[in-house]
C-alpha cells in the first residue's frame, strides 16, 4: 500500500529527530521526499538508505534567498510540493532572561520564526494555484505552557501557533490545510542542542520516564495527512503519559 504516492513533501531539519522520522515514515508510505538541513552528510546517509523518491538539499532556513532559490530550482519531478513539514527549530540555553544570551535569542527567532515563514511563503503561491496542499508546523507545548528558562523559545513557539491559525483564516476558501503539531517532552537531539552537546545533562531530562519519540510525531503527521481532505486539524497537542501541565507557581514570603 502506498497511501501517499501522489505526495511530494518538503521537510526542513530532516537530518535528525522529528524531521528524519517524518522523512522515513512518509517515504515508507509512498511519498517523494525533499530532505533539507544544514548537515548535508547526514541527509546523504539517509537518502542512501531510502534509495529512491528522495532529493537532498543543504539548506539553512534562516537564509531567505537560499530558501527561495531552493524551492525555485527543484528538479522537475520534485517541483510540485504538496506538503511542507516546517520542522527546523531549536532551543538554546535554559538561563533566565536577565542572564540569557542575546545571540541565542536571535538564533531561535531567526530559525523558529523567520525560517518557518520563509519556507511557508516560498511554497504557498503554487499551492494556492493548484488549490491543494498541507502545511505542517512543528510547534511545542512551550508555546502554551510557560516554564523558567523557556523565555524566547516559548515565545517563538507561541508565534508558530498563532501564525498557523492565521494561515488557516487567510486560506479559507482554498483546499490547503494547516496543522500546528505541539509535542511535549520528546527524546531527540533537542536537549543535546539546548545544552550545547552535553549528553549527560541532556539524558537526565528524560531520566525515569518514557518521553515521546520522533516516530510518534511522524505518526501524527501521517495521520493528519491521511484524513479526508475536508478535515483540518488546527492544533494537535501531544505529551507523554508521564507528563502533564501543573499548577500555577506561587511565591510565598
Residues 135-144: pLDDT tens digits? Answer: 999 999 999 9
- 174 CB-near residues (< 8 Å, 6+ apart): 127, 128, 131
Q: Look up the pTM and report it.
A: 0.95
State how far the Cα of 139 lies from the Cα of 133, in Å rounded to an integer. 19
Asked if residue 37 is part of any domain, the answer here is: yes
State how far the Cα of 105 lies from the Cα of 100, in Å rounded to an integer. 8
Asked if residue 250 is part of any domain, the answer here is: no
* CA 153 centroid distance within chain: 14
Cβ pair 157, 181 in contact under 8 A: no
26 has pLDDT over 90? yes
Asked if residue 34 is part of any domain, the answer here is: yes
199 has pLDDT over 80? yes
Cβ pair 43, 21 in contact under 8 A: no
Q: In the structure grid, which three cell numbers stand for residue 228, read together?
A: 479526508
State how far the Cα of 199 lies from the Cα of 193, in Å rounded to an integer. 9
Helices (H), the chain: 17-28, 40-50, 64-72, 102-108, 116-130, 151-170, 190-194, 199-205, 214-226
Asked if residue 198 is part of any domain, the answer here is: yes
Q: What is the mean pLDDT of the chain?
A: 96
Asked if residue 251 is part of any domain, the answer here is: no
Question: What is the arithmetic mean of pLDDT over 16-36?
Answer: 97
- Structural domain of 53: 8-238
Half-sphere exposure of 50 (CA within 13 A, CB side): 27
1 has pLDDT over 90? no
Count Cβ atoms within 10 A of the Cβ of residue 34 and give its class: 0-12 exposed, 13-18 middle, 19 or more buried.
buried
Asked if residue 243 is part of any domain, the answer here is: no
Question: What is the arithmetic mean of pLDDT over 182-189?
Answer: 93
φ, ψ of residue 147 to 5 degrees: the values are -150, 150
In the sheet that holds 235-238, the strands lie side by side as: 54-58, 32-37, 8-11, 83-86, 133-138, 176-183, 235-238
Residues 105-149: pLDDT tens digits? Answer: 999 999 999 999 999 999 999 999 999 999 999 999 999 999 999
- Residue 196 region, left (φ>0) first, then alpha (ψ -120 to 50), else beta? left
Q: Residue 120 belongs to a domain with what CATH number? A: 3.40.50.720
Helix or strand or coil: residue 144?
Answer: coil
Residue 190: predicted pLDDT: 85
State how far the Cα of 198 lies from the Cα of 190, in Å rounded to an integer. 11
Q: Which residues are catalytic?
A: 153
Asked if residue 40 is part of any domain, the answer here is: yes
Number of domains in the chain: 1
Cα end-to-end span (Å), the chain: 63
Burial 123-158 (b: 16+ CB within 10 A, else e): bbeebeeeebbbbbbbbbbbbebeeebbbbbbbbbb
Asked if residue 252 is part of any domain, the answer here is: no
Q: Are strands 235-238 and 176-183 parallel, antiparallel or unpaired?
A: parallel
State how far the Cα of 229 lies from the Cα of 166, in Å rounded to an integer. 20
Amino acid at each position: 500500500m502506498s497511501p501517499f504516492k501522489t505526495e511530494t513533501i518538503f521537510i526542513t531539519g530532516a537530518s535528525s529527530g522529528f524531521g528524519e522520522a517524518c522523512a522515513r515514515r512518509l517515504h515508507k508510505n509512498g511519498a517523494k521526499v525533499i530532505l533539507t538541513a544544514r548537515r548535508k552528510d547526514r541527509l546523504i546517509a539517509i537518502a542512501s538508505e531510502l534509495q529512491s523518491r528522495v532529493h537532498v538539499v543543504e539548506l539553512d532556513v534562516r537564509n531567505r534567498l537560499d530558501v527561495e532559490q531552493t524551492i525555485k530550482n527543484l528538479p522537475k519531478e520534485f517541483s510540485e510540493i504538496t506538503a511542507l513539514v516546517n520542522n527546523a527549530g531549536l532551543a538554546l540555553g535554559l538561563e533566565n532572561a536577565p542572564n540569557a544570551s542575546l545571540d541565542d535569542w536571535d538564533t531561535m527567532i531567526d530559525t523558529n520564526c523567520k525560517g518557518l515563514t520563509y519556507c511557508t511563503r516560498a511554497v504557498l503561491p503554487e499551492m494556492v494555484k493548484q488549490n491543494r496542499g498541507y502545511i505542517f508546523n512543528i510547534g511545542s507545548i512551550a508555546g502554551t505552557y510557560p516554564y523558567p528558562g523557556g523565555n524566547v523559545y516559548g515565545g517563538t513557539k507561541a508565534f508558530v501557533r498563532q501564525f498557523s491559525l492565521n494561515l488557516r483564516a487567510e486560506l479559507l476558501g482554498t483546499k490547503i490545510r494547516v496543522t500546528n503539531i505541539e509535542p511535549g517532552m520528546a527524546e531527540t537531539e533537542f536537549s543535546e542542542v539546548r545544552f550545547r552537546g552535553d549528553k549527560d545533562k541532556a539524558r537526565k531530562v528524560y531520566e525515569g520516564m518514557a518521553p515521546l519519540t520522533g516516530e510518534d510525531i511522524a505518526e501524527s503527521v501521517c495521520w493528519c495527512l491521511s484524513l479526508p481532505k475536508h478535515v483540518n486539524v488546527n492544533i494537535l497537542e501531544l505529551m507523554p503519559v508521564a507528563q502533564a501541565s501543573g499548577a500555577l507557581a506561587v511565591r510565598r514570603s
